[in-house]
Chain A
């Protein structure tokens, strides 16, 4: 099976200036995303996981150019998105859509569902004016909302239904790539399961590619093909879902996975790795490996030398850690 790269991110950096001082000049930068590269193939789901401030949402926003990146390349279908002017980028967003965490904040409360969806159709000129109504009905049906509800306002829907409307809006322009930024995080588990199943079903139906941004590793394991783990603006581990969950290699990934409370009460629990301290500030991240201040395996060299992503197996499993220079490390 040959895989076609749909999205290629190369050396992406996103620094946000901090204004201050007497004349309001730039005094420092928040290095939200600092030199990351990855590929998303057509039809797959790649998840970006990490804790608050690791740069996962910033990555998603940079790809859509909702914030213009500091440097790097973003190739979508072979075309560099960063070379496009604003008007062309707007057209391009027909192919790249985003679903946000809080559907209440991202739907206009003064528009009915029909207006919300028709607006998207109109701007991207997807179908003719006559066909719009039918298209809106079809879209709502696809996401499981009755056509009789289309003249209602967002506040008349429950959280799960609002998220379905957000999905319908993203799908209205027939995108190729959908970025889901914590799309199910605000939902109760029973509703979350419904929306996750819907996303999977839609992926098959419309051959969608997902970049799924989440902090919930259970959700990520369920929905993804491949996973990227980020820490303080860097990719620390990237790999196939099963390989990463069954054989995590980076000390941070191992700690992250062991920290999640499990609903397995009967079985003997694996020993929990509890990290000390907090995530350092991205304004002045630690030199060398960014994780060395909390890493139980830190060596002298970790404080000075930044680790590269080392290949660990044939399934494109890579991790950035000095321990892994000569292949997988024996943690037992």
Chain B
């Protein structure tokens, strides 16, 4: 077993999660590595089908078996591998040490319980508070997440709240037991921008106050730029680039990251003419190209890219990129091409 870095709250090593369908195995997450430093924020970005949500569900051990299964890898949380935990041990961790916020608060809150009962539930299970104590703490949590008149709201049902309020309740539930790691899966995607700004501000403030480590899964590059310290860009189940936030946005290395950044229409810049695009679309998980997964859409693809999958190489600055362009192989390739001609 590799020695784990004490500074890292979570280390994901070679995570592989597959789904077994009638048409065959889908490798939704295929050998993903990353780590989260204590108190820091990591962003996982990618488009639909890149495996970013499945990565978070795998960490929480929420992948539905037998349809899906974590087939390989290690998820080391504070020095312990979560994949070897029993169901009961996981229940003690989930909602207590690691919490999760989902995209759609209406479908992830229980419609038949009041907000107060839902916050109190985890407090009573994990912290063994009695009914009264849990209720007091629930009101405290609602106040913490900025809900006005919490004494009244604590008795209300989710349908009585607006979308932004519901997301605040979700955050209150997630933070009730003061978790060490918070996983937020598209936490603001369903919200309007002015409400999104409120919620992001709230998450940032609470993270500072409570020292929580944060993992944000999103397709919104703006949210990543605002919130994260490090970013992992995923494509077809693999991390293609893993770097600090500044490098990702100012000096991206992988053609996919570059393409993604260029195709975002900017509200803050005057740009004329066409948007630059990534041609084609994400390949079907049953027909993944051999070699680099991005080869079918990459403007720079050469013969080696079709043949062989590049490794995730670590640069001197600690950033990682999975692309032949950034290896010694690339120049040899160029020479090979020119001698052919």
Contact = CB atoms under 8 A, between A and B. Distances in A.
Interface string A159-201: 1110000000000000000000000000011111110110010
B249 A266 contact: yes
A215 interface: yes
A222 B193 contact: no
Interface stretch (A4-12, A99-107, A127-135, A270-278): A270-278
B250 A266 contact: yes
B222 A263 contact: yes
B275 interface: yes
A261 B47 contact: no
- Main secondary structure on A side of the interface with B: helix
A263 B277 contact: no
B260 A266 contact: no
Task: Assign chain A's interface to a size class.
Answer: 35 or more
A257 B193 CA distance: 9
A49 to B, nearest CB: 10
Contacts of A51: 192-195
B249 A219 contact: no
B281 A158 contact: yes
Contact of B249 (A160, A242, A265): A265
A18 interface: no
A259 interface: yes
Contacts of B245: 265
Interface string A248-264: 00000001111111111
Which of A160, A190, A246, A279 neighbours the largest number of chain B CB atoms within 10 Å of its CB? A190
A221 B162 contact: no
B334 interface: no
Contacts of A277: 148
Interface string B188-207: 00001111111011000000
B99 to A, nearest CB: 23
Closest 6 CB pairs of A and B: A261-B222, A193-B263, A51-B192, A259-B197, A188-B47, A222-B265
11 contacts: A161-B281, A188-B48, A217-B193, A222-B275, A260-B267, A261-B223, A262-B267, A263-B221, A263-B224, A264-B225, A278-B165
